[in-house]
Amino acid sequence: MEQRTLGRTGRTVSVIGLGTWQLGADWGDVSEAEATAVLDASHSAGVTFFDTADVYGDGRSETIIGAWRAALPDADRAGVTVATKMGRRQDQTLENYSAANFRAWNDRSRANLRMDTLDLVQLHCPPTDVYQSDTIFDALDALVDDGSIDAYGVSVETVEQALIAIARPHVASVQIILNAFRLKPLDEVLPVAMDAGVGIIARVPLASGLLSGRYRHDTAFAADDHRTYNRTGGAFDVGETFSGVDFDDGVEAAREFSVLAEAAGLAPATAALAWLAQLPGVSSVIPGARNVAQAEGNAAAGSVPALGDAFTASVRELYDRRFRAAIHARW
């Protein structure tokens, strides 16, 4: 598994990480035993970067990671980086992004994760105004200065937000949706982040599973799965569900992507992740996994030989033809 430096954190992380929203809630049922098995399998396969948030299952994902991490041998624990997020346990108003709330939210995450100092805390998709407030970033600097966090970053919805955040001197990393069905950050964010030395965490890398090529037009998801209840953005930004593409269009495009992957001798999910991991400027790709087989398959994408420029050209052609008009201007 290739390791890379995660931007201004200076930490070394695996190029394939693990997203752990599934280990909290919103993806149907994942038992605690399965969640722990996913963490174990990922780590055994070389994954050293784990992304969570205080709201995933209202702390369930953090708590499971905290217990799992605490049980690791010291040497293994030292090599693991856990990134959490804060800011969505209350309304996304400017006044809620206060120094007092930051401390309270971080104290809860530190307890859940059983860590005195959090490795990386990301603002969890705040409104654009937040990125423009010096007071808010001063409060984040104070958390680093007093040792409650090692570094902070942001998770963003749009390219515009990513660019504003990268210009802030102490933002260590930017987490953004980047996948074969969401290409705008490839041209507009990656080069700027690289110049600034800011890490890029590529989230929703499988377009919520679409890029695995497993779904059909009549595939149904559980009632408590966001792919059922957020399909039109009823609960949070619609871009977080299937990358904001229409499900039926996504199923058709995934069929085409599967042909590209098979021509490269890879399963579609593996090709989707390996391609992202090979893009210059990406620090870590964080697929979510609901079971051990997915976790192991995803980690293996970190050691796939270079897919090359022809593969990228085919992905661009697919995106331009199927999705650019519908989504490019939106995020």
Ligand X SMILES: NC(=O)c1ccc[n+]([C@@H]2O[C@H](COP(=O)([O-])OP(=O)(O)OC[C@H]3O[C@@H](n4cnc5c(N)ncnc54)[C@H](OP(=O)(O)O)[C@@H]3O)[C@@H](O)[C@H]2O)c1
Task: Please tell me whether residue 212 binds ligand X under the rule CB under 6 A.
Answer: yes
Residue 108 CB, nearest approach to ligand X (Å): 18
User: Which residues, at least 6 apart from 93, have a Cβ–Cβ distance to it below 8 Å?
Assistant: none
CA atoms within 13 A on the CB side of 91: 3
Burial letters 305-331, b for 16+ CB under 10 A, else e: eebeeebbebbeebbeebbeeebeeeb
Helices (H), the chain: 32-44, 60-70, 74-78, 99-113, 128-131, 134-145, 159-166, 184-188, 190-196, 226-229, 247-263, 268-277, 292-300, 309-322, 324-327
Quick one: 20 or 283, whose CB is closer to ligand X?
20
Q: 288, 302, 315, 327: which one contacts ligand X (CB under 6 A)?
A: 288
Residue 143 CB, nearest approach to ligand X (Å): 19
Residue 90's DSSP bridge partners are none
Task: Please tell me whether residue 207 binds ligand X under the rule CB under 6 A.
Answer: yes
Residue 310 CB, nearest approach to ligand X (Å): 24
Task: Please tell me whether residue 165 binds ligand X under the rule CB under 6 A.
Answer: no
CA angle 8, 125, 23 (to 5 degrees): 90
Task: Please tell me whether residue 208 binds ligand X under the rule CB under 6 A.
Answer: yes
Task: Please tell me whether residue 26 binds ligand X under the rule CB under 6 A.
Answer: no
Task: Please tell me whether residue 25 binds ligand X under the rule CB under 6 A.
Answer: no
Residue 237 CB, nearest approach to ligand X (Å): 8
Gyration radius of the chain over CA positions: 18
- Location of structure tokens 């702390």: 59
Task: Please tell me whether residue 60 binds ligand X under the rule CB under 6 A.
Answer: no
CA atoms within 13 A on the CB side of 128: 9
Residue 235 CB, nearest approach to ligand X (Å): 12
How many CB atoms are located within 10 Å of the residue 175 CB?
Answer: 28
- Candidates 163, 171, 176; CA nearest to 198 is 171
How many CB atoms are located within 10 Å of the residue 30 CB?
Answer: 23
Residue 222 CB, nearest approach to ligand X (Å): 9
Residues 71-90 that bind ligand X (CB under 6 A): 85
Task: Please tell me whether residue 258 binds ligand X under the rule CB under 6 A.
Answer: no
Q: 43, 184, 203, 322: which one contacts ligand X (CB under 6 A)?
A: 203
Task: Please tell me whether residue 158 binds ligand X under the rule CB under 6 A.
Answer: no
Quick one: 36 or 74, whose CB is closer to ligand X?
36
User: Where does this chain touch ligand X (CB under 6 A) — which range of 39-47, 251-259, 285-293, 306-314?
Assistant: 285-293
Q: State the residues that interact with ligand X by CB under 6 A.
A: 19-22, 27, 51, 85, 124-125, 155, 175, 203-209, 212, 214, 240, 269, 286-290, 294, 297-298
